[in-house]
Amino acid sequence: MNNNSRRDFIKKTLIASAAISVGGVLPAFSAKSYNNIIGANNKLRISMMGVNARGNALAKNFAAQPNSEVIHVCDVDNRAIDKCIKGLTKYQQTIPTGFADFRKSLESKDVDVLVVATPDHWHAPAAILASQAGKHVYLEKPCGHNPQEGEWLIDAVNKHKNVIQMGNQRRSWPNVVKGIQEVHNGTIGDVFYAKTWYANNRPPIGIGKKVSVPDWLDFDLWQGPAPRRDFQDNLIHYNWHWFWHWGTGEALNNGTHMVDLARWGLQVDYPTRVSSNGGRYAYQDDWETPDTQVISIEFGPDKLIIWEGRSCSGMPTEGSNVGVMFYGSNGSLQIDGGNSYKVFDVKGKLVKEVKDSGPVNTASLTSPSQQLDAIHIQNMFSAINSGGNLNSDIMSGHQSTLLVQLGNIALRSGKQLEIDPSNGHISNDKHIMQEFWSREYAKGWEPKI
């Protein structure tokens, strides 16, 4: 099969698979058998990096696709490697090779795509190393731990000409796309304001004790590009989100998704002013990032995005624990965590509702929407094989990530930030720019394009 016919074949497969349920399973076939009868020689070969939770679910989703197979599983937790490989036997016949160090996987010419589902401090450095190795990248949000890393990723794609798709998967969900099109087409008139939110009831994490590193964990490699700190018993595998050294808080953990939809709907790029208030209010423990936060993001004189995060107070807003509401001159439009939307008139009367029959569990930490996420995966495959447009390319991913990064910077510095709308840089305080735009890296781990 020549390159042109191969691309035609995969393009047809992509179109068909987008309408199929998880992994493209037909009633008479298992995921594994279906996967192996569809163009086995045309599969993209996947290396998974970080498979303890979200990455484990993503690995199954990639393995279940008819045009890809997972050949490598990489994690600093050897228990996670074994668990992931065992779980993939339900979806493919190929038994992946396990690696503690993903860099060994990148040395393989067999790998086409690196999927990065690690803690935030690893996202951009891993994606840059993969780009240097000639691999494409599926990068979980946020795209970077700090704004500089987002700019480096853009430079990496421009230099290495690879594909990097960020995991803003709602950009590929059909009814979400329709909802945003309604906003763009004037269904609710001139739109000037988008309110976004996330609420949960997360428990306290306590006061950690410095203990010996477990024998199943390579903690030095887990820290990777981050300057070294001692291991403590309330850090791994999820609580790192709430430590500035490795994580980025709820704003980037969950806020990125809805703020991205807000930016998309308002058709704005970089802001002009950002402010934020909040703190760690619910408990007294090691949690450093805010559990309660409001970020205000202004775009010139007539556009505004607000994000409200409540990690430890799960009362729904507008009937949902996560969502975005667009307000216009003729009404409003709401998109919740699922593949659906509602349109209201100016008096708040529901005038249209578009639903998806498939369930979306927004409270899931690993796989809230596997079937819908497959569409986002296939969009990336289409870009790799036929040059199609990405639904969440790295420029768009960086611009959306930057909005909540700037919110965190405003909160941590205690100042309102004036922003250069041409590039998103902080223009009113060079000291804040120097302190928060990038970070210190462990010696020898500095990202290089």
How far apart (Å, rounded) are the C-alpha atoms in residues 25 and 140? 25
- Evaluate if residue 35 carries a pLDDT over 60: no
Q: Report the pLDDT averaged over residues 401-424.
A: 98
How far apart (Å, rounded) are the C-alpha atoms in residues 377 and 365? 19
3-state class of 56 per DSSP? helix
- Evaluate if residue 43 carries a pLDDT over 60: yes
8 Å CB contact between 59 and 68: no
Percentage with pLDDT > 90 across the chain: 87
- Evaluate if residue 247 carries a pLDDT over 50: yes
- Evaluate if residue 16 carries a pLDDT over 60: no
Q: Report the pLDDT averaged over residues 126-144.
A: 98
- Evaluate if residue 24 carries a pLDDT over 80: no
Range in 135-139, 226-230, 364-368 the model is least confident about: 364-368
H or E element, residue 308: strand 303-310
Instruction: Annotate 246-257 with b (16+ C-beta within 10 A) or e (fewer).
Output: bbbbbbbbbbbb
Which amino acid is it at 186?
G
pLDDT of 359 reads 56
Q: For tokens 């986002």, name the residue.
A: 376
pLDDT category at 360 given cuts 50, 70, 90 is low
pLDDT of 378 reads 96
Percentage with pLDDT > 70 across the chain: 88
pTM check: above 0.85:
yes
Q: What is the 3-state secondary structure (H, E, C) of 162-176?
A: CCEEECCHHHHCHHH
Domains of the chain, earliest start first: 3-171+372-394 (3.40.50.720), 175-361+396-436 (3.30.360.10)
How far apart (Å, rounded) are the C-alpha atoms in residues 376 and 17? 11
3-state class of 215 per DSSP? coil
- Evaluate if residue 134 carries a pLDDT over 60: yes
- Evaluate if residue 227 carries a pLDDT over 60: yes
pLDDT of 2 reads 44
pLDDT category at 254 given cuts 50, 70, 90 is very high
Within its chain, how far is the Cα of 120 from the centroid? 10
How far apart (Å, rounded) are the C-alpha atoms in residues 336 and 281? 26
Q: Report the pLDDT averaged over residues 390-410.
A: 98
Write the pLDDT tens digit of every residue in 121-131: 999 999 999 99
> 257: which DSSP letter?
H
Q: Report the pLDDT averaged over residues 369-381.
A: 90
To the nearest whole number, what is the mean pLDDT of the chain? 90
- Evaluate if residue 23 carries a pLDDT over 80: no
How far apart (Å, rounded) are the C-alpha atoms in residues 246 and 414? 21
Torsion-angle region of 134 (φ positive above 0: left; ψ -120 to 50: alpha; else: beta)? left
Q: Report the pLDDT averaged over residues 217-223.
A: 98
N-to-C CA span, the chain: 35
Q: Report the pLDDT averaged over residues 41-55.
A: 92
Q: Report the pLDDT averaged over residues 292-319.
A: 97
